[in-house]
Structure 1
Amino acid sequence: MPFNQLKKYNDLLDITGMSPHNRNTSLRGVFDRDITNNANFKFRAKQITPTPLDGLITMDTLFRHLTTVTIDEKTKAREYDVHRSQRLHWVKYHIDEKKNDNVLVYSIKEPKGNRTYIYDKNEKYVIVLEPLRNKDEYYLLSAYYVRGKDEKRSKFEKKYKRRLTELL
C-alpha cells in the first residue's frame, strides 16, 4: 500500500485490485501526507481548509469529498469514485501550481457563491475552491476527473470565458 505514496503526477494510484479497507488505508496515507499533515497546504499564500459539514470542519469530510461522488442530491448520499480516488495525489500538485501549461486558474460568481477553479485541460481535472470573505483562506470543495457531459461541453472552458478580472 505505501507504494501509492511514491506515485507522481500524472500517474494513477494503483487501487483497483484492493479490498475497500486496504484501498481506504492507502488513500488515507496519500491524503494525510499531502493535506492533513501539510501545514503549508496553501493556494497562492491562502490557507486551504476542509468544507464544513453541519458546522463541523473535519479532514474526514474533505477526504470523503475527494474520494466519493454524490449519487443522490436530495439525501446527499455518496459512494466511492475510482476516478477521483486514483487522482487524489494530483490535488497537491495542482494547488502548488507545479504545472504551468494548459491550466486555467480563474474565479467566477455562481448562484451558490464565488468559486475559484484550477482546471487542467490536458488531464481533464478540476479543483474547486471557495474563497472566504474577508479572510485569506479557501475551502476546498472538491477535485475530480471531468468526464461525461461536462467533458463534452467543455464546461470549465465556458466558465473561463466569464471569469472575473482578478482571482478571489
Structure 2
Amino acid sequence: MPLNQIKKYNSLLDIAGLSIREREISLKAVFKRDVADNTSFKFRAKQIQPTPKEGQLNLDILYAHLTTVVTDKKTRKREYDIHRSKRLHWLKHHLEEKQKEGMLVFSAKDKDGIRTYIYDATEYYVIVLEPLRKVDAYYLLSAYHLRGRDKEKIAKKYKRRRLPDLY
C-alpha cells in the first residue's frame, strides 16, 4: 500500500490485489497527499473546488468522483471504478501541467454549460472542470481514463466545439 504513494505518472497504482479496506486506505492516502492536503490545488492559478452537494462533505464528493463511476443515471448511483482509481495520482501531474506533449487544453460549450478539458491524448486521460466566473475558480467535475468510443468523442469535441478562449 505505501508503495502507491511513490508512484509517478504514467505508472498505475497497484490496487487490484488489495482488499476493499486496503484499497480505500491506499487511495485515500494518495488523495490526501495530492488533493485534500494540497494548498496549491489549482489549475492555471485558479483554485479548484469540489462540486457541492447538500448533506455531504465536499472532499468526500470529490473523492467519489475520482474513484467511482455512475452506473445508474436515473438514481445517480455510483460504483467503484478501477480504471479511474489506479490513475488517481495522475490528477496532480496534469493540473500542474508537468507534461506539454500530447496535451489538449480547451473549453467547450456542452449541454450543461461551459466545461474546460485537460486531455492527455497519449494516455487517453481527461480532467473535466467547470469554470466559476464569480470567484475565478473551477469545480472539478471528474477525471478518468477514456475507453472505446469516448476517445473519438473528446477528439471531435476538440475539433468541432472548442471555444476560442480558455475559461
TM-score (norm 1): 0.96
- Per-residue CA shift, 1:98-139, capped at 9, x if unaligned? 010010000011110110000000000000000012221000
Counterpart residue number, 1:155: 153
SS of alignment partner, residue 9 of structure 1: coil
SS of alignment partner, residue 23 of structure 1: helix
Give the Cα–Cα distance (whole angstroms) in 1 for the partners of residues 55 and 22 of structure 2. 30
Counterpart residue number, 2:58: 58
The alignment status of 1:92 with 2:107, answered yes or no, reads no
Counterpart residue number, 2:81: 81
Paired residues, number: 166
Counterpart residue number, 1:126: 126
Structure 1 residues 1-168: aligned runs within 5 Å? 1-54=1-54, 56=56, 58-151=58-151, 154-161=152-159, 162-168=161-167
Unaligned runs of 5+ in 2: none
Runs of 4+ in 1 over 3 A off after TM superposition: none
Unaligned runs of 5+ in 1: none
Q: CA deviation at 1:57?
A: 5.2
- Aligned-pair Cα RMSD in Å: 1.0
Give the Cα–Cα distance (whole angstroms) in 1 for the partners of residues 110 and 6 of structure 2. 37
Contact 1:47 1:138 in 2 (8 A): yes
Identity of aligned residues (%): 60
SS of alignment partner, residue 147 of structure 2: coil
Give the Cα–Cα distance (whole angstroms) in 2 for the partners of residues 167 and 137 of structure 1. 13
Contact 1:72 1:78 in 2 (8 A): yes
Q: CA deviation at 1:56?
A: 4.9
